[in-house]
Structure 1
């Protein structure tokens, strides 16, 4: 089973993923935990390029192509082999993040993203958990962590566009995308997510 986790900054994805991983492993499931961009040594190097603030402004098209280069490597080296071995893959972000951030946030044409997905992504998640919270709430949480990366430094308007795009994705794909209220406690969120996973299993 392939499960992805989406949301704007500071909504609690990492906490939920860690809880689900621990619970599923305790129930004797073979679980792989990974993330995007990243997941392999090469893809992690691309992640550093994408997240590190730099004097040279990265154009939106470069950002998108780097993300899909990392994704192609990630699929080939980690996700598909794990699924073929009958493992559960928990992935922090996937294609929906590209639609939300590069299309919704940056304003790139959705057709460009769909074309890359059609040609380079052979497998979509079985379940996508979208953790939703007001942007201001998530940013307050994110600012309490370490120094903000290149994406986290974006303005509120950017993240409002990202959130609206996630809402559109959830509306378009109700069979796959599960909206979780990220203002609930971590325990409540994890219990709801586990119910959906058990039903799918």
Structure 2
């Protein structure tokens, strides 16, 4: 109850925050008086499933949108909790701190490489035609390409179309040498799926 805001930047953030809350024998009643922010409609829907109607859903569904959405709030001296993945940009905590907020970052979950060997992935691309690769975060780009390190299969990947959930993920893919074909207007998995269907 010492927090003024809790900001969720993903569905996973919601999932693991409430898993932890329930583990310590607490529930949504302990969030009374705290304002809740959701980065986008998918995260907002996950909160609503928990019985919480977010106070903030920014028009732009990425970190910059969250900060923009809070600019009208008086954050000086306010306590903000930010549950997020282990690997994440520091944009939100940095900007909110500049606005006078006291930001607590808690690592709610971690994105890890799948249990695929390099050989398995190599055979997957070699023996079948992959039409499209989808990425849902910068870390999925990094983890995917780490599995291909030093492999000639990279040229096969360049033949596939690439779909990214949002501009930050697309930027990471571009930095790694991938041509991005699809970025939906709304940065959710549902919107990404629709954009892929429309593409074909």
* TM category, shorter: 0.3 to 0.5
The higher relative CO (CA closer than 8 Å, separation ≥ 6) is in 1
Structure 1 length normalisation: TM-score?
Answer: 0.33
TM-score between the two structures when normalised by the length of structure 2: 0.33
Task: Tell me which protein shows more helix as a share of its residues.
Answer: 1
Q: Look at both structures and tell me which one has the larger radius of gyration over its CA atoms.
A: 2
